[in-house]
Structure 1
């Protein structure tokens, strides 16, 4: 069994290694599961909306209804810039692309009219020029988009300072950008990309790239650039890991430090969309001027201009599962920076999760194989609970993102595989053991034999055993008065009650032979104090039989009492599986077995129900025993001395038994020395015996008869019990 356990451990650890490698490669399905877990965390504890100076001027349905469909003429956009500047916005960032000429500009409209005077055409207003003049010398940030066509790179309006290794290969790649109108690009205080999840296949925006790179230059996103312009800062400080090239750890913009991923991305910790975040563009452009409420919302704040109108299709999905305008995510990026509420996933998180899979999986394999699947399951559930609590606590109190799902999933797979192997292979062997021994061994011995290698090997071993034979007295007479069915019921009742004490005292039931029981101790595994446990089993059988007779459990009436004889001997015997390869029994054979059987048969001559050999009496814990003579066995040159078991160690320590033992020893000495006062000693012993054990009365009565019979020629005490073959 140890070999199959070792194979099970190897297979289990191989599965753990495969799962560990799988997690190290981080396939898309695992990444998706991890992202969904973090989404659920945000849904359970979203970032609360804080009234920081960030607002979205929303070109909403009401604005379009009032001022016409999109796109608006850019002189109206210029009017919006003028009004926001007048109110006192710290920065105005457009989540709108101005890459094409304004087709609603008077100059553009008239250019397509045939025969228009070119001089007149030049005097007509150009809306792009109007917007360019409006944004000049104002804190306006324009957005640019990404494209795969061309090779245009927008100018960078800020400087970059670096600490640590070069970060140019860390951010997502900028291949090309959509060109802005030259006059707008030149006059803008800042330029930032408006892409929220470039290259991502997911519709959910979970992180925002604060920087893009073309390998030589970094390009900030719209939110980061708006924050810089609002502070009047001229330079970004980008920190890289000192010992990890192509890694960004944080970005400093003005007075704010922003922790980012290695690729320069900010994990979005979103709050539910709130009406307080938005100001309708129609309210800003109101002909009568802005209200005090609108002025208070915008003044001194960072303003993002975008649209929530469904027809303009700038709707994104957040980790909360909400569909929101894309411009609001730029605003939420700045809200996070201003409030200092960040999420981060440490660089060592992957390593920790991989280590957790390896450690937890290995532990579950060992527990499942060597302890039990139930204990492994309990430990697995505990590990699951700890992983969930630790991951959730890290998110809730520190904004740290640790994935509990991968270790839990890997542990579940490992436990299932190890349990399946144990059931199909290891426990199959144990089920064979249970079928072979379950009816004959105590649960403690059965557990020990299950974990013993080659427990069912055919063949035998020489071991010191304590063997017991139990036989029903006068069984022939009893069976003659009963029907066969009644005989079976009688035997089942009696043998079941008696054999339970063999099991309870860690003995092995060998077989039932008609009305007899054969049992032994110290096999198939070692049993401490096996002679003492065999004697205690015999004493328990005596008590059980007395209760059965008293309660008339056999239905014989008060006149018929069932009696048994028990013989016990300790000696060397061959014990093991005996028979054929496909059908065998676990049994013991040898001279010690024969001696035990003959001691049991001698109970009839001695007149006592429990006799043990001198070897058993010497090796067992001290019980109340009295010498009962010696048996002359066939083939033996010396007699086998036997002892009557009166009671347990408590009786052995009692004053009453000590007095009886003193008298008994005098009687033995008198019989061996052929001295005369045997009759007086027998009578004295008979007076003491009933108080200790009822069976002693017949024992001393028989000794008295032998004493009278051999009064003229006393024999040695060893001869007076008789002999048995």
Structure 2
């Protein structure tokens, strides 16, 4: 194989291994959670980028809350509202008033020294009370002295002309309403316009028509401005107001802009947009600000201004009734003199009420008045063009942060961390508003993070429930309840596929099972096995052992897998001792019914072998059908140790490794055996009792004598061994009687062999 072929082979193996790991991760609990996180992240990012009305509404409700928490500070700016209120309606009749009264009000404002008068009212039709209008109606009527009346009316002045003449004596601004309905009417151009950067007509959405004033009135007016509020405020709350309007060819200012321009004696305004000197061109045409004499107003990209409201205050208002009352001149003059005066109505039924973010309903004219105050104070709120990008970044970062914390630290800690992060985001947004008047939305990023948390937490919870169900189905019948609960809470401890672990293995088998099975029917045999194995299994699980399998009348169990079990060799020994006691109790109670049936040998006997070492434990089979088991030499040796109990004459045998790993257990050396596949003999120990027995003086003496017995047997001293055997029998528990019987057989063999050996020596000498 060439070098390049070897490299390609290694790369192919690496890619295959990577794909395999990726597939395993995708099927895992965290893989499902990451998948849910990616879906949520894509959805919330797309939704924020598209910015549908629900997202905008959430943002603006947040900005409203900020204004309620910190409204614009009030100062007594020279801005007043002449209010056609209920008292004025009661004094001078229902609206609309004759233009002669409006002319008188305009003249009165000029006498009181108003800097400019702006009517937030449109006069699109002739005054119905003007003499010419009445004369036209009389010509169609059959009334006495009609010609005389018509001649008299012809001699009277026109009311609209009187109003126009009054406007010519003082700087007056009229309003118009831009409309989407197509019409030929267009307001008069009064203000000059200069622009820097992008052309405003390339940005502003043109209106199709307008509700404008009578030409005679507009000719006399010093300014004409739009009175529309923003069409983007669909919820009925006024948050923005257009500062510029376009019919596609010409640019018209708003009423507030015109009022400020006229009050300052300016001829025009200057509009600045992207592409202007010193401004970066973002690639999208947008407006930046408008300058009106000494005042600059920041604009949204489409030429609107955010309204920063103060609470509606009576100090702004002067009743039209008081204005026209000469007796109240001393009270009214200081408030009107040098002020920009806006004329509007707050009377009920005139349909000119607006909702503000401060949860107040104010007359429409008050919105324009507050805008002028805001410009005079130069206290603006703004939403920079980079706000959307920043909010999208924060949305992604918060969502990713929540996902990482959930995967790394779990639901509880990530919830605390997420709450802290969300609190910081909200605090940062509030800081930007309270100190810099910048509108940044913390709600959508917060909701996105919460959505991410819920989606991932639910996914992890469902996956965890599936894992627990899987664990319970797989291990419910093999593990103790407390061990099963631990495994459910930490399923990672069970690594399917195999892992090397240090375990203690136990095999249990029923002695003489074949004769028993031959003496019982199939049903009786099943009852016998269940009666025996049920309490023995409880003894194993009581010491936190894992039951691997039942093999007919046998049990295979192990400790320290799938979870770590402290002191597992000693636990296995205690389980074996408990199994010995259980079998004894069952026999005494004739639980199997063998004595009642008249069996010659009614006692059931078991053999237990225990070994300690490293084995491979894990899923043996497939993911859908498997058996969690252990494999290795330690398992095979445990099975052979159990078989050796027959030849050693005792029911419980443990390996030397178990005896060393559980030094507190009362165990006595039983001898050595050459197990199949081993080149050296294996030393085995007989279980005598638990830690309590091991601590007694009697067992200490037994252990000492037992050691001397083994020494005598090794030396071939049959007489000495016989004496020690009798001493051991007197101290040993009944369960070890069979073991000492085997030692007695060895001593008998020594005694027989000794004379024969002496005779052979004598014959050899002769």
Aligning the two structures, in what range does the TM-score lie when normalised by the shorter sequence? 0.7 to 0.9
Cα gap change, 1:288/1:515 in structure 2, threshold over 3 Å: closer, same or farther? same
Aligned partner of 2:305 among 266, 288, 297: 266
Q: Is the 8 A contact 2:500 2:617 kept in 1?
A: yes
Structure 1: stretches of 5+ with no match in the other structure: 476-483, 557-562, 716-725
Aligned partner of 2:286 among 232, 244, 247: 247
Q: Which residue of 1 aligns with 2:261?
A: 228
CA distance in 1, matches of 2:188, 2:706: 118
Which runs of structure 2 are paired with 1:149-548 in the superposition (5 Å)? Answer: 149-150=183-184, 152-162=186-196, 164-198=197-231, 201-241=234-274, 242-243=279-280, 244=282, 245-292=284-331, 294-362=332-400, 384-418=422-456, 427-428=465-466, 431-438=469-476, 440=478, 442=483, 455=496, 466-469=504-507, 495-496=537-538, 498-502=540-544, 508-511=546-549, 518-521=556-559, 533-538=567-572
Q: Is the 8 A contact 1:357 1:411 kept in 2?
A: yes
- State the Cα distance separating 1:446 from its structure 2 match: 5.3
CA distance in 2, matches of 1:250, 1:714: 121
Task: Find out whether 1:82 has 2:107 as its counterpart.
Answer: yes
- State the Cα distance separating 1:329 from its structure 2 match: 0.8
Q: Is the 8 A contact 1:139 1:189 kept in 2?
A: yes
Aligned partner of 1:127 among 156, 159, 169: 159
Residue correspondences, number: 685
The superposition leaves residues 182-211 of structure 1 with CA deviations (integer Å, 9 ceiling, x where unpaired) of 443344333211111247644332211122
State the SS of the aligned residue for 2:341. Answer: strand
Which runs of structure 2 are paired with 1:569-718 in the superposition (5 Å)? Answer: 569-570=611-612, 585-588=627-630, 592-600=634-642, 611-614=653-656, 628-633=670-675, 638-643=680-685, 671-674=713-716, 712=751
The superposition leaves residues 196-230 of structure 1 with CA deviations (integer Å, 9 ceiling, x where unpaired) of 12476443322111222345543221122223333
Q: Is the 8 A contact 1:678 1:707 kept in 2?
A: no
Q: Which residue of 1 aligns with 2:171?
A: 139
CA distance in 2, matches of 1:647, 1:394: 76
The CA RMSD measured in Å over matched residues stands at 5.5
CA distance in 2, matches of 1:609, 1:233: 114
State the SS of the aligned residue for 1:502. Answer: coil
State the SS of the aligned residue for 1:288. Answer: helix
Higher helix residue share:
2
Cα gap change, 1:317/1:600 in structure 2, threshold over 3 Å: closer, same or farther? same
Q: Which residue of 1 aligns with 2:27?
A: 4
Which runs of structure 2 are paired with 1:107-118 in the superposition (5 Å)? Answer: 108-110=133-135, 115=147
Q: What TM-score results when the alignment is normalised by the length of structure 1? A: 0.74
CA distance in 2, matches of 1:422, 1:307: 61
State the SS of the aligned residue for 2:327. Answer: coil
Task: Find out whether 1:63 has 2:88 as its counterpart.
Answer: yes
- State the Cα distance separating 1:285 from its structure 2 match: 0.6
Task: Find out whether 1:21 has 2:46 as its counterpart.
Answer: yes
- State the Cα distance separating 1:303 from its structure 2 match: 1.9
The superposition leaves residues 390-449 of structure 1 with CA deviations (integer Å, 9 ceiling, x where unpaired) of 445544554333334433444455555555655667853652233212454545555665
Q: Is the 8 A contact 1:463 1:575 kept in 2?
A: yes
